[in-house]
Homo-oligomer: A and B are copies of this chain.
Amino acid sequence: MAKPSGERHARDGDTEQRILDAAHRVFIRRGTAGARMQEIADEAGVNKALLHYYFRTKSRLATAVFQRTASTLFARVLEVFAGGSDLDETVPRVMQIYMDQLSRTPYVPGYILSELNQHPERAQQFVEALHDFRRKIGATDLLTIVQQQIQARVSAGTMRPITADQFIVNLASLCIFPFAARPMLMSILGIDDAGFARFIKKRRATLPQFFLHALRP
């Protein structure tokens, strides 16, 4: 019952964070089921018992890591969509900011998708985190925001109609998939890390046009 909440002492900076960071790295490279508590402890430079001291079980540690990671996935996207009003402007911004973010954390999509496929229960947790963030920045539902911005352009006759569902899935697919399928693409296209980086750089520049052109009347 000794939940470490009132951190009066702390021999080192912040152990809990170091553990979370280490767990994040190990979960990503081994998968949640393949990760070993000992490996996480080593990576954090800490005794294995400490992991249980802070997080009780492997399952809870996994939940904590997933939560932290998932909440960062769509945060920026939501912000940008809520910030702008014209798709001609928000789509390129979202795409570029998003691909920059994913370039910095290229393994996150694969991790999230794997985790969600093997533990669909976590999807609930995922969507709640998204809702919390949405309320925090005082925005409306993502689907509604996009729906309105689509409607605006459709009414103006500058865009073909499309449901917000398909719109968002198309956008997400084109941005996220290349990272989730990174090892496969690198092998099929015969490129290395540097080549992949170049591929993404070019994609960043051309994808917004591709997307917006697709919806011209």
- Residues of A at under 8 Å CB distance from B? 29-34, 107, 110-114, 116-118, 120, 123-124, 126-127, 130, 142-143, 160, 162-163, 165-166, 169-170, 172-174, 176-178, 180-189, 199, 202-203, 206, 210-211, 213-216
Known A33-B34, A170-B210; further 18 A-B contacts with Cβ < 8 A:
A29-B118, A30-B33, A110-B113, A113-B114, A113-B181, A117-B180, A124-B187, A126-B184, A162-B210, A169-B177, A169-B203, A170-B174, A172-B181, A173-B177, A176-B177, A211-B214, A213-B215, A214-B214
Collect the chain B residues with CB atoms within 8 Å of residue A30's CB: 33, 118
Query: Is B33's CB under 8 angstroms from A187's CB?
Result: no
| Residue in B107, B160, B169 whose CB lies within 8 Å of A178 | B169
Given contacts A33-B31, A174-B170, A177-B169, contact A113 B184 (CB under 8 A): yes
Query: Is A31's CB under 8 angstroms from B118's CB?
Result: yes
CB distance from A95 to the nearest CB of B (A): 13
Collect the chain B residues with CB atoms within 8 Å of residue A188's CB: 127, 130, 142
| Residue in B170, B187, B189 whose CB lies within 8 Å of A165 | B189
Query: Is B172's CB under 8 angstroms from A177's CB?
Result: yes
Query: Is B169's CB under 8 angstroms from A206's CB?
Result: no
